[in-house]
Amino acid sequence: MKILELKTEKRTTKGRKAVKKLRDVGQIPAILYGHKQDNVMLCLREDDFTRIMNARARMLYLTFNNKKESALIKEVQYDNLTDRVLHVDFSRIDLNERIKLRVPVELHGESIGVKEGGVLTHVMKDVEVECLPTAIPEKIKVNISELGMGKSIHVKELPVLDGIQYISDAEAVIASIHQVVEEKVVAEEEILAEPEVITKKPKEGEEGEEGAKSAEKT
């Protein structure tokens, strides 16, 4: 994966109101941390970051104050209603150290099970891997054309890639093929039933009966 360069500026302002002003002028607040060095508060242009995200880059060279640091995009916070990026976390990375991160899994081909009438369920959409920052795979392609009915693909069956070690549980299911489960038809009596009220106090008559029963037992 290519390492792209991103121009950033150091910021001194922090807090809700200050970052809101930044966002209003098309900038995104960000932070750089890691490697037991001081945290650096940054801000970057929104369109620059959109370009980075569209290129599906994970590793970046951040430039600020005539400095250049290699960093990994650790977390991106979104406004889920407007889809705008609210904040970005960068983690300092040495290009020679191995890092752990999640990589998406992509399924390829039409499986035998699906042709027989089964349904494919993609359970695990990304796996955790350990690799060098310069060798981060964009995605892991899995061929499922040999997958039959009732069979599943596990993490241990993922293709072996150079310099990449899978960290996720080896027995975890990536995708499986199963038969279509038909919906149960609920009886009309059940449909009309009201929910049970757990705080309902028993009526006096019921209490009396219960009391009489308990008295009989003793």
Partner 1 sequence: MRLMPKRVKFRKTQRQKIKGNATKCNTVAFGEFGMQSLEPGWITAQQLEAGRVSASQYLPREGKLTIRVFPHKSVTSKPIETRMGKGKGEPEFWVAVVKPGTIVYELSGINEEIARQTFNRIAHKMPVKVRLVQRRKTV
Q: DSSP string spanning 69-111? A: EEEEEEEEEE-TTT--EEEEEEEE--TTS-EEEEEEEEEES--
Among 96, 191, 213, 214, binds partner 1 (CB under 8 A): 191
Cβ neighbours around 45 below 10 Å, total: 16
Q: How far apart are CA 155 and CA 134, in angstroms?
A: 23
Q: Which stretch binds partner 1 (CB under 8 A): 10-18, 38-46, 151-159, 195-203?
A: 195-203
Place of tokens 């008295």: 215
Q: Which is nearer to partner 1, 8 or 208 (CB)?
A: 8
Q: What is the CA radius of gyration of the chain?
A: 28
Chain positions 62 to 101 lying near partner 1, rule: CB under 8 A, are 73-76, 78, 80-81, 83
Among 12, 65, 96, 199, binds partner 1 (CB under 8 A): 199
Smallest gap, in angstroms, from Cβ of residue 66 to partner 1? 28
Smallest gap, in angstroms, from Cβ of residue 126 to partner 1? 5
Confirm or reject binding of residue 189 to partner 1 (CB under 8 A).
Answer: no
**Stretch 28-57: interaction string toward partner 1, x if CB under 8 A:** -------------------------x--x-
Q: How far apart are CA 104 and CA 138, in angstroms?
A: 8
Smallest gap, in angstroms, from Cβ of residue 217 to partner 1? 28
36: left (phi over 0), alpha (psi -120 to 50) or beta: left
**Stretch 143-182: interaction string toward partner 1, x if CB under 8 A:** -------------------------------------x--
Which of 17, 76, 71 is CA-nearest to residue 49?
A: 76
Confirm or reject binding of residue 19 to partner 1 (CB under 8 A).
Answer: no
